[in-house]
Structure 1
Amino acid sequence: MSKPMDLTLTQKIVAELTKKDCSAGEIKDATGASYPEIFAILKQLSDTGAVQHYFAYNTPLPALIYQLKKQPFGKI
């Protein structure tokens, strides 16, 4: 059985992703959480279909970027 998500940190991460697509480093800077905490929550959010990721190549170094998954119109 997996450990329940830390709701406070989860809410902070979702709030950051609501503002803009973010790298793990940007999430770390905004929340003060450790990378293992961030990646554990991002994995859980990804497993539930709330978050997706993509590679951004238009940055000085290619980066893995996370974003909230867009919900189709009519779905809540």
Structure 2
Amino acid sequence: MDLTLTQKIIAELNNQDCSIGQLKDATGATYPEITTALKQLVDEGKAKHCFDSDSALTYQLIKQPFWRI
């Protein structure tokens, strides 16, 4: 079964916070495809962006309370 780009991004974000470049390397998708998928995840409240210790923009999954899963 082939995973969708959004599923691949979620799988990567489950492992660690990722920048768009890291997601590009992991998924092989283009930057526009990745930013579209990330926007959808952010709009759905499943992911958020933040800055890491090096001031790089990264994305992370929002942990859902167990009663909302």
Q: Shared fold by TM > 0.5?
A: yes
Q: Normalized against structure 1, the TM-score is what? A: 0.81
Q: Size of the alignment, in residue pairs?
A: 67
Larger helix proportion of the pair: 2
Structure 1 or 2, whichever has the larger Rg, is 1
Counterparts of 1:69 and 1:15 in 2: how far apart (Å)?
A: 13
| Distance apart, 1:35 and its partner CA | 0.5
**Percent identity for Structure 1 against Structure 2:** 63
Which residue does 2:21 correspond to in 1? Answer: 25
Which residue does 2:62 correspond to in 1? Answer: 69
Which aligned pairs between 1:18-57 and structure 2 lie closer than 5 A? 18-56=14-52
Q: Normalized against structure 2, the TM-score is what? A: 0.88
| Root mean square deviation of aligned Cα | 1.2
Counterparts of 2:63 and 2:14 in 1: how far apart (Å)?
A: 11
Deviation >3 Å, runs of 4+: none
| Distance apart, 1:54 and its partner CA | 0.4
3-state DSSP class of the match of 2:68?
coil
